[in-house]
Every structure is written in structure tokens, then in C-alpha cells.
């Protein structure tokens, strides 16, 4: 999963929140989350 975040945000906090939401809402215990600052490098996501 890719998440587009603003520069300067606490990446650990954002990842913790994403993992918490995935677990609570979808019962997903493990996921790979890649944070992107701005648009994806390839601009095709």
C-alpha cells in the first residue's frame, strides 16, 4: 500500500495509525505500507 503524506509529518505516527485502522476495520494484521511525499515518483499510482 502507498500513502501520500505531507513533507515533515511523523512517518512512524502515520504508519502506526494506518496499521491500526487496517487491523480495526478490516482485521488485517500485517501489511506493507510505503509512505510517499508528494506524488508517486512514476506519477502512475
Q: What is residue 40's predicted lDDT score, i.e. its pLDDT? A: 59
* Cα–Cα distance for residue pair 12/29, rounded to 1 Å: 17
In angstroms, the CA 24 to CA 16 distance is: 12
Domain count, the chain: 1
Asked whether residue 43 is assigned to any structural domain, the reply reads no
How far from each other are the two terminal CA atoms of the chain, in whole angstroms?
A: 10
Q: Residue 37: its pLDDT value, please?
A: 86
How far is it, in rounded angstroms, from Cα 1 to Cα 38? Answer: 15
Please give the model's pTM, rounded to 2 decimal places: 0.75
Task: Tell whether 42 is covered by a domain.
Answer: no
Written as tens digits, the pLDDT of the chain (45 aa) is 889 998 889 999 999 999 999 999 999 999 999 999 876 555 555
Range of the domain at 12: 2-37
CB-based burial label for 15 (10 Å; 0-12, 13-18, 19+) = middle
Amino acid at each position: 500500500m502507498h500513502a501520500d503524506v505531507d513533507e515533515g509529518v511523523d512517518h512512524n505516527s502515520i504508519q502506526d495509525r494506518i496499521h491500526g485502522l487496517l487491523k480495526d476495520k478490516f482485521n488485517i494484521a500485517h501489511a506493507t505500507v510505503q509512505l510517499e511525499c508528494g506524488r508517486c515518483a512514476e506519477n502512475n499510482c
